[in-house]
Amino acid sequence: MKAMQRLVLGLSLFSYVPMAWPTTQARAVFLLSSGNSMPMLEVKNDQPQRGILKDVALALASELNRQAQFKVLPRKRLEQELVSGSADLYCYTMPKWLSADVQWSQPLIRNHDVIATRADTRPPKSLGELKGKPLGTVLGYVYPELEQTLGPAFRRDDGFSETQNLRKLLANRHNYLLISEAEWLYLRSNPTMRAQLNPDYLRISSYDNYCALSRKSSISLQSLNSAIAKLKKQNRFTAIQSQYY
């Protein structure tokens, strides 16, 4: 009997196979600037609710097989988060906007900056017309083209976000607003806003946006570029933008 018990025990030990418990999905921490507004981003309680930037981040995270996590911070705090490795990615930015030592992805989305006005104000025909005139800009953002063209005559009227700058524009606190074309088209898709905003504007620059990847991230630049290339081939970014304007 004891021999039989030892045999059964031995077979049980031999046939034991540890269960493979599901592993926790790796994270991808995305930085988002609190200076953004719709259609780029809507923030509530320091968390992104909706917008192009959130949708793009979710698409990238899915393609990278990662769980997206978000940090919404003022523009001036974003670079340190990347340098320290506290975050992986800051997308929808450009090398000339950041001084931090980061890795740069292939182009993500193309956009344009415009000078927009109220319905009662004629948009400028050239940047030269803006010399000495207050222009709605975002605190912490840099504008190399305007600084180069206008020099000391570049008069910034900084707000914390494009949304605040729009309120200032409609309240006649300034007559000119620097804003992305995507945001302006989104604003004018609202019938109430459409009546208050001039349909004409001055396009001052066209540029590609990129993702800045922390050098301390576990995400490789190659895998990030592969994810971007695949999503672009599927026209995912275009589809995301078309949902908002």
Q: Which two tokens stand for residue 121?
A: 């104000």
3-class SS at 32? strand
Mean pLDDT of the chain: 89
First CA to last CA distance, the chain: 80
| 124 vs 162, residue with greater confidence | 124
Q: Which pLDDT belongs to residue 19?
A: 42
| 140 vs 224, residue with greater confidence | 224
Domains within the chain, CATH numbers bracketed? 28-110+208-242 (3.40.190.10), 112-206 (3.40.190.10)
Query: What's the pLDDT band for 79 if we cut at 50, 70, 90?
Result: very high
Q: What is the pLDDT of residues 42-74, one digit of tens each?
A: 999 999 999 999 999 999 999 999 999 999 999
Are 55 and 218 spatial neighbours (Cβ–Cβ below 8 Å)? no
pTM of this structure: 0.75
Most confident of 103-107, 159-163, 187-191: 103-107
Compute how many other C-beta atoms are within 10 angstroms of the C-beta atom of residue 26. Answer: 13
Burial of residue 141 (CB within 10 Å: 0-12, 13-18, 19+) is: middle
Task: Report H helices in the chain.
Answer: 2-15, 52-63, 75-84, 144-150, 162-170, 181-188, 191-196, 221-233, 236-242
d(CA 160, CA 33): 10
- In 3D space, the residue among 79, 66, 83, 75 whose CA is nearest the CA of residue 24 turns out to be 66
At residue 16, does pLDDT exceed 90? Answer: no
Residue 239, CB-side half-sphere exposure with 13 Å CA sphere:
8
Q: Which pLDDT belongs to residue 160?
A: 86
Q: Which pLDDT belongs to residue 142?
A: 83
Average pLDDT over residues 157-183: 92
- In 3D space, the residue among 215, 10, 15 whose CA is nearest the CA of residue 103 turns out to be 215
Average pLDDT over residues 155-163: 89
Average pLDDT over residues 92-114: 94
At residue 12, does pLDDT exceed 60? Answer: no
- In 3D space, the residue among 144, 146, 120 whose CA is nearest the CA of residue 133 turns out to be 146
Q: Which pLDDT belongs to residue 122?
A: 96
Q: Which two tokens stand for residue 125?
A: 């025909």
